């Protein structure tokens, strides 16, 4: 029997997003899928009939935060029997059956199941159905135009999933095998973004350096986007040190529109730890890449992810990480305490480090990086940098907050300058960790 599509007009949804940029991008995809099925976006959970919590599994703490949030949402659901609570993302993939067993959870969908969401919001999944929420290993959502937020800066996923199986990491298990999106679709998407006023694109993948569609590898993709679209700024993340090529560095150095910033997670400074992490490079190779990048890309900014307390990490190993941080002097670093993830190889390794010791190492590393970050930011005082004004600063509606091509955040007076139009700004001071400046009237050289 033929069925008419259910009338969803007037049903409002709201998405809360946890985790990385890829999850934020996925929330924009989910939003588009629901809008295309007649739902409308609410501005907060209180106004919504459907609440989607898009979750992260990367560390235990991330999962606990979400479980706490789901608990609180029992009261939200009780206020209206028509309300629906749906859990999406990496945690939905990892813990689907546990989550669907929570009485006020109405549906779960892992990262490859978002096309099913319009159907899911109207029916509670059975455990058998939840079990069927398997990765497809092929879904790339390449035909779906994300419902982007800012109008100035947007994300484009160039690949999904990951094949690297770093021994500590849950991502390959919850996001499935790496698949690259077709090159033409990416080019069209960036071109359309530029034509509709976007200034900046960030290409996303767990390891962008292994992107490939036929003969198009990542350096080629960047070259084509730089040459064949009008987008002003091109960023990308994440680069894996094992796969970052000299060719990529050359391409970065050759085009002004490719931002001189590389996020290059090192994870550890000790070869034995890197080996047990299954990272596929040595400390020396990493230092070689840093030198090569700095030689080829003027003013290159480097940021990293680093972890302390990996199983078997000795004090000597840890001090090698400290030494690497002091040697490279990153512009910024995301520092993490190792968190054991069930099902990963590292979770089974001997020599799990005590939580107290992990905390001590983390604090030590944070202090070192804070000092370096501050020194590097202070060295920018007096220089003139290009800033793309994005949003009002959190301190004052009379100030813009924007980013430099090196991804430094700068706050400056609005002076009737337009949002989304890059402006030269002289850096005047570094207050706390925030760079503050004044717009320069004369055009940049
Ligand atoms: N694909 C990217 C990469 O290779 O760096 C990002 C992966 S993950 C989403 C971001 C960061 O989380 C990683 O670089 C790593 O430092 C950290 N991370 C991943 N698994 C972790 C774990 N089990 N415990 C602590 N930190 C972890
Ligand atoms: Fe995780 Fe490693 Fe893949 Fe990054 S490259 S997502 S750290 S397995
Ligand atoms: Fe991202 Fe967290 Fe998933 S970091 S890929 S949302 S596990």
Q: How remote is the CA of residue 14 from the centroid of ligand 3, in Å?
A: 20
How many domains does the structure of the chain reveal? 3
Cβ contacts of residue 19 below 8 Å, gap of 6+?
54, 55, 56, 58, 62, 89, 90
Q: In a 10 Å sphere around its CB, with 0-12 CB exposed, 13-18 middle and 19+ buried, how is residue 86 labelled?
A: buried
Query: What is the structure's pLDDT at 129?
Result: 65
Q: Which ligand is nearest to the CA of 236?
A: 1
Ligand 3 centre to CA of 145 (Å) is: 21
Ligand 1 mean position, distance from CA 350 (Å)? 20
Q: Are 230 and 310 in a shared domain?
A: yes
Ligand 2 neighbour 162 (Cβ under 6 A): yes
Q: What is the mean pLDDT of residues 25-32?
A: 97
Distance in angstroms (rounded) separating the CA atoms of residues 387 and 426: 10
Residue 144 lies in a domain: no
Give the model confidence (pLDDT) of 219-257 as tens digits: 999 999 999 999 999 999 999 999 999 999 999 999 999
Q: What is the pLDDT of residue 5?
A: 58
Q: Are residues 20 and 74 in the same domain?
A: yes
Confirm whether 148 is domain-assigned: no
Which of 91-100, 122-131, 370-379 has the highest mean predicted lDDT (pLDDT)? 370-379
Average pLDDT, the chain: 93
pLDDT of residue 444: 46
For residues 110 and 165, membership in a common domain is answered with no
Q: Which residues line ligand 1 (CB under 6 A)?
A: 20, 58-59, 168-169, 171, 206-207, 238, 240, 265, 267, 305, 307, 336, 338-339, 341
CATH of the domain at 374: 3.80.30.20
In a domain, 104, yes or no: yes
Do 72 and 205 reside in the same domain of the chain?
no
Structural domain ending residue among the three candidates 378, 402, 419: 378
- Tell the residue number behind the tokens 């609005």, with chain if given: 414
Query: Which one of 97, 132, 167 terminates a domain?
Result: 132
Residues 312 and 222 in one domain: yes
Query: Of 141, 147, 209, whose CA–CA distance to 181 is shortest?
Result: 141
| CATH code of the domain containing 24 | 3.40.50.12160
Nearest ligand 1 atom, CA 344 = 23
Domain that holds residue 399: 384-439
Average pLDDT over residues 344-366: 97
pLDDT at 130: 57
> Which atom number of ligand 3 is nearest to the Cα of residue 54?
6
Domain match, 338 and 423 both:
no
Sheet holding 12-17: strands in order across? 40-41, 12-17, 50-55, 84-89, 107-109
Sign of CA dihedral 211, 213, 218, 221: negative
The average pLDDT across 44-63 equals 96
What CATH number did the domain enclosing 391 receive?
A: 2.40.50.140
Q: What's the rounded mean pLDDT across residues 109-114?
A: 90
Whether the CB of 171 sits within 6 Å of ligand 2: yes
Q: What is the pLDDT of residue 431?
A: 87
- The label of the residue with tokens 């944070």 reads 366
Q: Tell me how far the alpha carbon of residue 111 lies from the centroid of ligand 3, in angstroms.
A: 10
Residue 208 sits in the same domain as residue 254:
yes
My answer on whether 165 and 263 are in the same domain is yes
Higher pLDDT, 429 or 416: 429
Q: Mutate which of 26, 174, 339 to test ligand 3's pocket (most atoms within 8 Å of Cβ)?
A: 174
The pTM assigned to this predicted structure is: 0.94
Rounded distance from Cα 112 to ligand 2 centre (Å): 18
């Amino acid at each position: 029997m033929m069925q008419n599509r259910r009338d969803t007009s007037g049903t409002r949804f709201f998405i809360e997003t946890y985790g990385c940029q890829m999850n934020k991008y996925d929330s924009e995809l989910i939003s588009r899928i629901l809008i295309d099925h007649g739902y409308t976006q609410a501005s907060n959970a209180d106004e919504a009939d459907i609440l989607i919590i898009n979750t992260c599994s990367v560390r235990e703490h991330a999962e606990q935060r979400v479980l706490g949030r789901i608990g609180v949402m029992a009261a939200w659901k009780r206020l209206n029997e028509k309300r629906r609570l749906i859990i999406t993302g990496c945690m939905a993939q990892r813990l689907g059956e546990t989550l669907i067993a929570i009485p006020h959870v109405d549906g779960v969908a892992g990262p490859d199941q978002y096309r099913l969401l319009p159907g899911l919001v109207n029916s509670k999944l059975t455990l058998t159905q939840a079990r069927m929420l398997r990765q497809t290993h092929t879904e790339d959502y390449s035909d779906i135009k994300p419902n982007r937020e800012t109008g100035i800066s947007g994300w484009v996923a160039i690949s999904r999933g990951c094949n690297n199986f770093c021994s500590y990491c849950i991502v390959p298990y919850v996001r499935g095998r790496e698949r690259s999106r077709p090159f033409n679709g990416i080019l069209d998407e960036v071109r359309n973004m530029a034509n509709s006023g976007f200034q900046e694109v960030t290409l996303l993948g767990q390891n962008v350096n292994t992107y490939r569609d036929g003969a198009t590898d990542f350096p080629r993709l960047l070259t084509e986007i730089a040459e064949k679209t009008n987008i002003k700024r091109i960023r990308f993340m994440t680069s894996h040190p094992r796969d970052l090529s000299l060719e990529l560095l050359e391409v970065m150095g050759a085009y002004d529109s490719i931002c001189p910033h590389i996020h290059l997670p090192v994870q550890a400074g000790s070869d034995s730890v890197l080996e047990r992490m299954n990272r596929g490079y040595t400390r020396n190779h990493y230092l070689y890449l840093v030198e090569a990048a700095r030689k080829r890309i003027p003013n290159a900014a480097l940021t990293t992810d680093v972890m302390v307390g990996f199983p078997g990490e000795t004090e000597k190993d840890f001090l090698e990480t400290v030494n690497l941080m002091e040697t490279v002097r990153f512009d910024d670093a995301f520092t993490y305490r190792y968190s054991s993830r069930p099902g990963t190889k590292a979770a089974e390794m001997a020599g799990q480090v005590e939580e107290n010791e992990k905390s001590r190492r983390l604090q030590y590393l944070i202090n070192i990086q804070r000092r370096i970050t501050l020194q590097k930011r202070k060295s920018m005082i007096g220089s003139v940098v290009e800033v793309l004004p994005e949003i009002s600063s959190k301190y004052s509606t009379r100030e813009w907050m924007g980013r430099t091509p090196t991804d430094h955040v700068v706050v400056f007076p609005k002076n009737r300058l337009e949002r989304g139009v890059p402006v030269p700004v002289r850096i005047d001071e570094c207050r706390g960790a925030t760079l503050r400046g004044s717009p320069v009237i004369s055009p940049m050289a």
